[in-house]
């Protein structure tokens, strides 16, 4: 499952909080929706790795960690915070 892969890769940032939420069902009938989900995700995460980073730098860090998962999903919403 994509969500499990995401959790595993993001765990390398030692998060104090990590939620990976599959929001695909809420996008039924919209672009990118796939039957069975795993197309639209929201990540809520707090990590000391985000300390001193701008919002853009935090997003880039997460995208880098997710790597080849990114082309496999349609949308990713990020809520990232420093511990």
pLDDT at 38: 80
Q: What is the rounded CA–CA span in Å between residue 31 and residue 75?
A: 10
The mean pLDDT of 75-81, rounded to a whole number, is 97
Confidence band for 54, pLDDT divided at 50, 70 and 90: very high
Tell me the CATH number at 68.
Answer: 3.30.300.90
Model-level pTM greater than 0.95? no
How many structural domains is the chain composed of?
A: 1
Q: What letter would DSSP give residue 16? A: S
The kind and range of the H/E element at 8 are helix 2-10
Q: Give residue 36's domain range.
A: 2-81
């Amino acid at each position: 499952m994509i969500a499990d892969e995401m959790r595993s890769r993001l765990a390398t940032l030692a998060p104090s909080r990590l939620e990976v939420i599959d929001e695909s069902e809420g996008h039924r009938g919209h672009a990118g929706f796939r039957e069975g989900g795993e197309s639209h995700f929201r990540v809520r995460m707090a990590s000391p790795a985000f300390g001193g980073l701008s919002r853009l730098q935090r997003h880039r860090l997460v995208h880098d960690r997710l790597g080849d998962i990114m082309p496999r999903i349609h949308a990713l919403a990020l809520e990232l915070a420093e511990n």
